[in-house]
Structure 1
Amino acid sequence: MSFRSLDSAAGADWFLAATAGAAPDAFATEIPARVPGQVHLDLVAAGGIPDPYDGANETQLAWIGRTDWRYRTVFDWHDDGHGRHDLVALGLDTAATIRLNGQLIARTANQHRSYRFDVRDALVEGENELVVEFRAPLDFADEQEQLLGARPHVNHHPFNAMRKMACDFGWDWGIDLSSSGIWKSIGIDSWSGVRIAGVRPLVEVSAPLGDRARGRLDARVSLEWADAASAADTEITVQVAGATATALASAGTTEVGIVVDAGEVDVWWPRGYGAQPRYEVTLSAGDDRWSALVGFRSVQLDTTPDELGTPFTIIVNGRVVNIRGANWIPDDTFVTRVDPERYLSRVTDAVEANMNLLRVWGGGLYEHDDFYDICDQLGVLVWQDFLFACAAYAEEEPMRGEVEAEAREHVARLSRHPSLVLWNGCNENIWGYLEWDWRRRLEGRTWGEGYYFELLPSIVAELDPTRPYSPGSPFSFMRYAHPNDARHGTMHLWDVWNERDYTAYREHEPRFASEFGFQGPPAWTTLTGAVHDEPLDPYGEQMLVHQKADQGNVKLERGLGAHLPKWRDVDEWHFATQLNQARALAFGIEHFRSLYPRNTGQVVWQLNDSWPVISWAAVDFSGIRKPAWHALRRVYGDRLLTVQPHDGGAVLVAHNDHDDPWRGEVQVTRMTLDGDRLAAETHALELGARESARFPLGAEVLATTDAAGEFVLVRAGDGVADALWYFSEDPELKLRSSADALAVEWSTGDGDGETARLTVTASSLVKDLVLQADRIAPGARVDSGLVTLAAGDSHTFVVTGTGGAELTGHDRFPTLCSVNDLIA
């Protein structure tokens, strides 16, 4: 067996040209192209267009999505004697016509599928020409909508009429580019006899005792035969964990099941619960070989009704996992640029923010195996949506056939990954049908119900019965309940961002919060690298190009509410709105975690960005961790202290989401901003593993006589973040200026010229210190943020990647920022 790659990296020369549509005439001439790749990237590389992410270029480049494009390559081929020669295309975006030496091979219309075509009759000895033509995606979507019938959707274009990444058409955080291209590898696969077409290595474990269990591998092997007439019986061999099993596949058999008793194995756990051991599975059939890593673990979803309603509890290896996670979107709109290094960086962002789950959202992609491999390795659970989001979808052909084909492919492909613990039917579509006026507009047309309640769960049950399935998010897991009912299942909370102050989070008691969030701008250099308004202004022309949410910057301003004053300049706007995003997320998550065990998880919207934009992300497109990320790291800590209002007073909640008991003392002190102790009490902690406890605060520590000049500090030490309680909003606090309240000192000394330390010591309360390291040097990064110092406290920020930049002047606003700078 042999594979001839036609990727650019393997030496293939590809060329791109516009063939019809809105393109200027100059683009009818061929330019060099890269495969895998995308049209926009080729045009940028050739100097034909500017960076689509820069300034207001998005609108200027809209013609690209209204243009038909042709990819062409010429390659040498010689018959090596194999019985089959297949053209394998792992990803075509999207409506493509494939011709080999002028012969029509196929027409495809699904970005989310791979394709294999027998082309032995089209190949010729010597020079061959392969042409892949793409229909303009915006025109194709419009045409399909006319054929299928118009159905409700969010945003500008009928993305729901074709099987293409929905957010490529723009989203309330995403640029509207609608690119085309051969976005995954392509080549000629030559083979004889039998081919391993796919393997589903389904694992089972007996009830684990600690970190060991008895493992069982049920390998479901799909086979394809080059020539049924000359096929011969073939032995299939599977090995894992030192155990081997074989089976004889009769000639022409298309699927074989082989069970391997792996004996006692090390169990795979989510991070925070144990280690992540994996075992190599190797499989042979004739001359073909297959191998992959698997992890032995079990997973269940508990939605058994209880006295409170319907829980949503993920159970791994028989243990409840309290979820602390984030929603994941494509990490670059130009998805071909997302390589293993970028995946690792972003998943590491999740891990270091104390997350244990990422939800791959239904308006994006089934991600590359690299993403799931990294989650397997780091112990990050994956919730995978099927790709349906915020729209009604036709259930008639050809849509239904495409949906079934892609679902079957990816359920089978991802079945080996221990990190994948849940398949979810759709994002918000069941909610939309009920509440967003879809029923009237649909006039009886199909909308996706058959997918979410019949087709998709049947495919999961058939191909991977080891994993649970949810019809949608939000969903209540009962027929006669609203899908977004706090008492049942999963809940999306968007009233806060869209309509209300973030304190309204305390009015919700969700069993599981699978979407909620608040916006903030990206880091300063990320923002100003793409927005060039003069002067820079929150409502500038280019600034609003990089704000996709409806009235987004108005909502940012409104969201400051009584919490922070309105900015006096754009530097204050940038910091204040970043800070308010961080506070809103922390406020909501602390409340939700205080409800444990009623609430079993939070999945914040969102971890990452797909381009430089003002958004809900905790990590911006440049990979810079926003203040929101530092807030998440604190409130997602294994051990959390939070003060919550209760019965006219306040209660201290301690949540120990850790395998070890939490024993110690918590000091609760009411003090002046300048550090005078006014009242104190001590609480003894005796929490078992995965337990929560509540401690009412005494009247004395809450009996303030100066609401603007006092606060309550809750401190346990041992690396547990402090909790704080204030009697007034920040604009009323008697905060001293940071210049007056902080002593600062820069130091270097690592000898590399790349690392610096800023040590700050407070003589009075300094709230939410943030060092915007990228203002020192674009590549600089800081280890900590959102640090609140009581009088006498010190903290050292460690800055890397300074490049030897001058540090003078970077110890005050707008590089070193705090609430004090906004108030005093």
Structure 2
Amino acid sequence: MKTILFYLVNLLLIAQVALGSNSEIIQLHKGWSFKQVNTTKWHKASVPGTVHSDLINNKIIKDPFYRVNEKAVQWVGEKDWEYKTNFTVSKVTLAKDNISLNFDGLDTYADVYINDILVLEANNMHRGWKVDCKELLREGENTVRVYFHSVFKKDMPKYLNAPFKLQAWPNNDQNSEIWLSLYSRKAGFHFGWDWGPRLITSGIWRPVYLEAWNNFKLEDVQITSEKVSKKQATVKAVYEIIASKAQKGASLEIAHKGKVYGTKTFDLKEGQNLIPVTFNIKNPKLWWSKGLGDPHLYTFDCTVKSASKSVTQKVRTGIRSIRVIKEEDAIGKSMTVELNGVKVFMKGANYIPLHNLQDQVTEEKYRYYIQQAVDANMNMLRVWGGGIYEEDIFYDLCDENGLLVWQDIMFACGMFPADQDYLQSVTEEVKYNVKRLRNHPSIALWNGNNENEISWHEWGWKHKYTDEEQKIYIGNLKKLFYNVIPDAIATMDQTRHYHPTSPNTGYNNISENYGDVHLWHTKGDTPLTVYDEVVGRFMSEYGFQSYPEMKTIKKFTQKWERNKTSEVMFAHNRAKQDQTRDPNFGNQAIERKMETYYGIPKDFETYVYRSQILHAKATKIAIEAHRRNMPKCMGTLYWQLNDCWPAISWSTIDYYGNWKAPHYTVRDVYQEVIAPVIIEDGKLNIYLVSDRLKDIKGELVVTLMKHDGTVLNDQKLNVLVEKNNSKIYFGADAEKFLNRAQKNDVVLQVQLLENDKVITENHFDFVVEKEMNLKADVVKSSAKNMNGTITITLSASSYAKNVFLSYKEAEGHFSNNYLDLLPNQEVEITFTPKEGSTPKDLIIRSYADFNNDNILNQ
């Protein structure tokens, strides 16, 4: 947490640069202690932090991620906790006109005392809090104390007194029918989800500081792109200035790299002042998403001057236009993101918090995961509504890397209350976060909630209520997501589209031809081919589960627990059917498809491997279907990028940062040009899909070969691949094309060449893996070490499927893995070991090798 805290502190200082002697920020992150209420012993605490981390650091509880330790720490969320520290205020500070105590995050019900005087009763984790405290401070030593109430004690009366019981999913909240998570403005995933543990945290989870100033303060500058073209951008900056008294003759200036773009003189009134200035930038450098251009960022120096003071705030943003287009057409209603006038196919993932205990997430971890999204050719991440509004660094990194952000408001999978106090809390939460985030060019849209409407209409919830109760709840839903939230957003940002719910197919109109779609049919008996059959206008959720690799499993288990039905393994697979609470539900969802494609092995290591290549197969089928159907479909965001703890889940990167098989697949099928192959109505069709903004003159090479490398059919076609489009460029009767070749002994290779260079390649099999005639022990390798990076050369004498590489002990990253090797093809792969890791004993296994090996559980 030290690195992220250092980042946040520096961000705050940069924002307040040049405030001079009339302004001061005093960080209050040292000397904290905590205790359980009604006990006497105080322990050392970390701020920002969480009570669970503090208990772990003081050896009061064990790591809840190891084995089934999660069960043993449930008492923590049921208790009240108290934090305190002392701080010194100088005579100079105390002389300032204004002094406030600022908390950027309190989780969740918190009473704050300054020198034993109650100054704040916080009730929302998702916002910051500010208290004017000048009159309460004294020169010298002062105390601040924070009393955190258990959410159970605070919310149980709300639950018991509600006019009717509200529904939620998943049912991880106390494993009962009591859904307290709905009543508090706290991260939903803290109560457990179908991919994460139940850890009800509390604490001072974001920075806390004193702010002291005289005369006026530059509170914020909002910068928006009003009109954008290649020749000129019209930009508007609105300065928010808080003045302690009326002042005449103030002025502002906005500059970039020494060039002044706008000035204005004005008088300040006491309180809030909103001062706009509009200016033009000729030949602007636009902000583009990944793959379309440079995500250029402007850092503006925003200055306010008076007779006695000069304040400059640095504001970084990008110049771009963005729209979400929803248009009625012949089949329904489209959903397309348009950036700088270009309709862009969105390729990305749903993102959840990186850890249940936010203080454990470092700056390095943020940088790592954003880079993995970039390396997988993504251009969008969705910040999902059951987590948190992310840290500033997350959005900064998305800005820098050209990753658009679909930003949920923090509501997910539930029926939420709509009493006046709750609505007021939500209003302040939304205003706070939209104001905090609105200058980020990466943010593409605001989304009101995750699955709150579809759950009511499609999950059977509404049938549990009387007609009158249904009427009341529908009124509450509309009030919250169609009035309160969009109205709050509009007060802070009128430049982005508001999407009321995801999926949003039109109120009470569930259809894949309208808006965005969540497709979860594959949890049951529905085959993976459903991805080919059900393609929406924007696929904002779908996914498949897999186990993390054995190295990860070994970190949270004992040797005897490494099997799919151990108590530990069940505890780390939270995909349970709510009605039955069957712990084997997640395994069954995997095995239904595993049986179809691979068969279910007896040994656990092969089972883990097959779960990953199955996950990769499902992901490839889905994404290729979505991209083939461009422009009908204009976005695909799979579930999910990452994990918040070591788990069997839908993630493509495990908790320790290891790429699972599907992440390699995602990288390949998210390339700017791909060549999907599918048999449709007996016809072998090869599509070429291009995200480029220019046509491609190329050569399409289609080769049918036996597994031993014998070429049976080889065709070459000159093609003009249309820009930003998908089309069939090769079609043939499948049976005639095969010409009686044995389907279990052939593979189709498709290559697209541009200037004699392969720019995309795909392989297509005509039968499932368990029916293929594959040989074991066909892969050969050599390796050489160059300055710590290992270069591995692979070749195969016969077709090798899903070749998996691993070093027995070393941790690190392979540039490619779980790959198919064509006969007599040579492939180079690099392995970059983690610091302190020494690679030795390279293990290489193909699908056929796993099939033949008699591997014992380890």
TM-score (norm 1): 0.93
- How far off is 1:420 after superposition? 0.6
Which amino acid is 2:250 matched to?
Answer: T
| Unaligned runs of at least 5 residues, structure 1 | none
Which amino acid is 1:508 matched to?
Answer: V
Structure 1, 346-355 or 121-130: larger mean CA deviation: 121-130
- Aligned-pair identity in percent equals 28
**Relative to 1, partners in 2 of residues 1:34 and 1:406: Cα closer, same or farther, differing over 3 Å?**
same
Which amino acid is 1:382 matched to?
Answer: V
Matched, 1:790 2:822: yes
**Relative to 1, partners in 2 of residues 1:817 and 1:335: Cα closer, same or farther, differing over 3 Å?**
farther
Aligned to 2:3: none
Do the aligned partners of 1:383 and 1:423 also contact (CA within 8 Å) in 2? yes
Post-superposition Cα deviations, 1:28-71, rounded to whole Å, max 9, x if no partner, equal 41100010011111111111111111110000010000010000
- How far off is 1:389 after superposition? 0.4
Aligned to 1:416: 439
Counterpart of 1:397 (choices 398, 420, 442) is 420
- How far off is 1:309 after superposition? 1.1
Which amino acid is 1:125 matched to?
Answer: E
Post-superposition Cα deviations, 1:257-290, rounded to whole Å, max 9, x if no partner, equal 3223132121111111111111122223354432
Do the aligned partners of 2:814 and 2:830 also contact (CA within 8 Å) in 1? yes
- How far off is 1:440 after superposition? 4.0
Aligned to 2:480: 451
User: Partner of 1:538: helix, strand, or coil?
Assistant: coil
| CA distance, structure 2, for counterparts of residue 233 and residue 91 of structure 1 | 37
Counterpart of 2:375 (choices 327, 352, 373) is 352
Total equivalences in the alignment: 795
Aligned to 1:92: 106
| CA distance, structure 2, for counterparts of residue 90 and residue 147 of structure 1 | 31
Matched, 1:710 2:746: yes
Counterpart of 1:668 (choices 697, 702, 726) is 702
Aligned to 1:271: 290
Taking the TM superposition and a 5 Å limit, the aligned residue runs for 1:185-204 are 185-204=207-226
Post-superposition Cα deviations, 1:190-213, rounded to whole Å, max 9, x if no partner, equal 11212223322222233x2xxx34
Counterpart of 2:263 (choices 238, 245, 251) is 245
**Relative to 1, partners in 2 of residues 1:7 and 1:543: Cα closer, same or farther, differing over 3 Å?**
farther
Aligned to 2:4: none
Matched, 1:281 2:300: yes
Which amino acid is 2:509 matched to?
Answer: A
- How far off is 1:151 after superposition? 1.3
- How far off is 1:164 after superposition? 0.6
Counterpart of 1:532 (choices 549, 553, 558) is 558
| CA distance, structure 2, for counterparts of residue 268 and residue 369 of structure 1 | 19
Which amino acid is 1:234 matched to?
Answer: A
User: Partner of 2:433: helix, strand, or coil?
Assistant: helix
Which amino acid is 2:154 matched to?
Answer: F
| CA distance, structure 2, for counterparts of residue 719 and residue 479 of structure 1 | 46
**Relative to 1, partners in 2 of residues 1:153 and 1:213: Cα closer, same or farther, differing over 3 Å?**
farther
Taking the TM superposition and a 5 Å limit, the aligned residue runs for 1:128-143 are 128-143=142-157
Which amino acid is 1:378 matched to?
Answer: N
Aligned to 1:406: 429
User: Partner of 1:811: helix, strand, or coil?
Assistant: strand
| CA distance, structure 2, for counterparts of residue 631 and residue 249 of structure 1 | 59
- How far off is 1:789 after superposition? 1.3
Taking the TM superposition and a 5 Å limit, the aligned residue runs for 1:54-453 are 54-80=66-92, 81-149=95-163, 150-154=165-169, 155-157=171-173, 158-206=180-228, 208=229, 212-226=230-244, 228=245, 234-240=250-256, 242=259, 243-252=261-270, 254-264=272-282, 265-285=284-304, 286=306, 287=309, 288-441=311-464, 443-444=469-470, 445-446=472-473, 447-453=476-482
| CA distance, structure 2, for counterparts of residue 3 and residue 35 of structure 1 | 20
**Relative to 1, partners in 2 of residues 1:63 and 1:817: Cα closer, same or farther, differing over 3 Å?**
farther
Aligned to 1:653: 687
| CA distance, structure 2, for counterparts of residue 657 and residue 615 of structure 1 | 30
Do the aligned partners of 1:58 and 1:175 also contact (CA within 8 Å) in 2? yes
User: Partner of 1:720: helix, strand, or coil?
Assistant: strand
| CA distance, structure 1, for counterparts of residue 487 and residue 222 of structure 2 | 16
Aligned to 1:555: 589
Aligned to 1:731: 770
| CA distance, structure 2, for counterparts of residue 183 and residue 232 of structure 1 | 40
| CA distance, structure 1, for counterparts of residue 120 and residue 458 of structure 2 | 41
Do the aligned partners of 1:591 and 1:644 also contact (CA within 8 Å) in 2? no
User: Partner of 1:431: helix, strand, or coil?
Assistant: helix
Taking the TM superposition and a 5 Å limit, the aligned residue runs for 1:478-497 are 478-479=506-507, 481-482=509-510, 485-497=511-523
| CA distance, structure 1, for counterparts of residue 688 and residue 154 of structure 2 | 55
Do the aligned partners of 1:361 and 1:427 also contact (CA within 8 Å) in 2? yes
Do the aligned partners of 1:415 and 1:464 also contact (CA within 8 Å) in 2? yes
Counterpart of 1:35 (choices 47, 51, 60) is 47
Do the aligned partners of 1:204 and 1:296 also contact (CA within 8 Å) in 2? no
Which amino acid is 1:436 matched to?
Answer: W
- How far off is 1:441 after superposition? 4.0
- How far off is 1:466 after superposition? 1.2
Which amino acid is 1:349 matched to?
Answer: Q
User: Partner of 2:410: helix, strand, or coil?
Assistant: coil
Which amino acid is 1:716 matched to?
Answer: L
User: Partner of 1:266: helix, strand, or coil?
Assistant: coil
- How far off is 1:223 after superposition? 3.0
| CA distance, structure 2, for counterparts of residue 43 and residue 519 of structure 1 | 32
Do the aligned partners of 2:290 and 2:377 also contact (CA within 8 Å) in 1? no
Which amino acid is 1:458 matched to?
Answer: D
| CA distance, structure 1, for counterparts of residue 524 and residue 109 of structure 2 | 36
Do the aligned partners of 2:800 and 2:846 also contact (CA within 8 Å) in 1? no
Aligned to 1:697: 732
Structure 1, 656-665 or 105-114: larger mean CA deviation: 656-665
Matched, 1:821 2:856: no
- How far off is 1:719 after superposition? 4.2
TM-score (norm 2): 0.89
| CA distance, structure 2, for counterparts of residue 255 and residue 305 of structure 1 | 42
| CA distance, structure 1, for counterparts of residue 275 and residue 162 of structure 2 | 39
Do the aligned partners of 1:88 and 1:116 also contact (CA within 8 Å) in 2? yes
- How far off is 1:613 after superposition? 0.9
Which amino acid is 1:278 matched to?
Answer: L
Aligned to 2:616: 582
Do the aligned partners of 1:249 and 1:256 also contact (CA within 8 Å) in 2? no
Post-superposition Cα deviations, 1:715-757, rounded to whole Å, max 9, x if no partner, equal 23534342222222111111001x1x12222322x2x4x3223
Do the aligned partners of 1:239 and 1:245 also contact (CA within 8 Å) in 2? no
Which amino acid is 1:222 matched to?
Answer: E
User: Partner of 2:596: helix, strand, or coil?
Assistant: coil
| CA distance, structure 2, for counterparts of residue 134 and residue 817 of structure 1 | 54
Post-superposition Cα deviations, 1:646-688, rounded to whole Å, max 9, x if no partner, equal 1212200110111342222222222211111122222322113
| CA distance, structure 2, for counterparts of residue 806 and residue 464 of structure 1 | 51
Which amino acid is 2:413 matched to?
Answer: C
Structure 1, 713-722 or 587-596: larger mean CA deviation: 713-722
Which amino acid is 2:217 matched to?
Answer: R
User: Partner of 1:469: helix, strand, or coil?
Assistant: strand
User: Partner of 2:102: helix, strand, or coil?
Assistant: strand
Post-superposition Cα deviations, 1:380-401, rounded to whole Å, max 9, x if no partner, equal 0011011110001111121100
User: Partner of 1:711: helix, strand, or coil?
Assistant: strand
Counterpart of 1:523 (choices 531, 545, 549) is 549
Which amino acid is 1:177 matched to?
Answer: L
Do the aligned partners of 1:240 and 1:262 also contact (CA within 8 Å) in 2? no
| CA distance, structure 2, for counterparts of residue 255 and residue 396 of structure 1 | 32
Matched, 1:592 2:626: yes
Do the aligned partners of 2:353 and 2:388 also contact (CA within 8 Å) in 1? yes
Do the aligned partners of 1:744 and 1:811 also contact (CA within 8 Å) in 2? no
| CA distance, structure 2, for counterparts of residue 177 and residue 594 of structure 1 | 41
- How far off is 1:822 after superposition? 2.5
| CA distance, structure 2, for counterparts of residue 284 and residue 708 of structure 1 | 71
